[in-house]
Copies of this chain bind each other. A is one copy, B any other.
């Protein structure tokens, strides 16, 4: 039970206490020989994303929703070295966004001392609840960050058209794919001192831009989601390609929208 675990805050009396799993029952959630089990996939994908420069220096990560469970990487650790036993598991519920710092609601908390759940948890939740996403990727890709700088402080979004790679991005991240002549638009929100304080701004941008497949965070990175981990990864690759191309086009003085 949560209250018997030393690294779990006691729940106030006014809030319901959920059953936190322990030992073998908890480990069963993250133990599988299937390489596509979320606990294995998160480790593999984090290694891949590290190679792409998306999650160096512990930045970024991925969360996967698997049925009624959400799998999360820990915070502040080397993402390319995560192992399944380091994965956090939360029950998924539309109504409850987990609060960073409180591990009250977790089904599984890694036993290794010092591991904390990702500060991105409530931001991943935005994708799960507002877009019914099955996975959400967060990167600190330099292409995303440099793009928000090159576009300038007054730019509220990144817009680009007439690029084949636009066709790999879906309306709202989970709808049908865009067409070559469509204009892709990704809103940009301002960064905050603490990652969890981005939650409201990200939710607001997702509501204002219902067709957006991602949210750029100025001087920080990007959040990208999809119905499945495959669709989230495919869109992350297409969008990162377009962010990089956008940087090069701005630097070469080429217009981002239209085909001139």
Interface residues as binary, A31-71 with B (CB distance below 8 Å gives 1, 0 otherwise):
00000000000000000000000001111000000000000
Q: Identify A78's interface contact among B58, B150, B233, CB under 8 A.
A: B233
Q: Identify A252's interface contact among B149, B164, B193, CB under 8 A.
A: B149
Closest chain-B Cβ to A238's Cβ sits at a distance in Å of 4
Closest chain-B Cβ to A134's Cβ sits at a distance in Å of 15
Does the CB pair B252–A252 fall under 8 Å?
no
Does the CB pair A164–B237 fall under 8 Å?
no
Q: Identify A241's interface contact among B142, B233, B254, CB under 8 A.
A: B142
Closest chain-B Cβ to A9's Cβ sits at a distance in Å of 21
- Given A56-B237, A193-B179, residue A260 in contact with residue B153 (CB < 8 A): yes
A162 lies within 8 A of chain B by Cβ: yes
A233 proximity list for chain B (CB < 8 A):
78
Q: Tell me the chain A residues, 202-240 only, with Cβ under 8 Å from chain B.
A: 217-221, 230, 233-235, 237-238, 240
Does the CB pair B162–A219 fall under 8 Å?
yes
A6 lies within 8 A of chain B by Cβ: no
- Given A57-B237, A193-B180, A219-B163, residue A153 in contact with residue B248 (CB < 8 A): no
A237 proximity list for chain B (CB < 8 A):
56-57
Q: Identify A259's interface contact among B153, B230, B238, B240, CB under 8 A.
A: B153
- Given A78-B230, A78-B234, residue A57 in contact with residue B146 (CB < 8 A): no
A252 proximity list for chain B (CB < 8 A):
146, 149-150, 251
Alpha-carbon distance A219/B164, docked complex (angstroms): 6
Alpha-carbon distance A236/B162, docked complex (angstroms): 24
A163 proximity list for chain B (CB < 8 A):
145, 219
A244 lies within 8 A of chain B by Cβ: yes
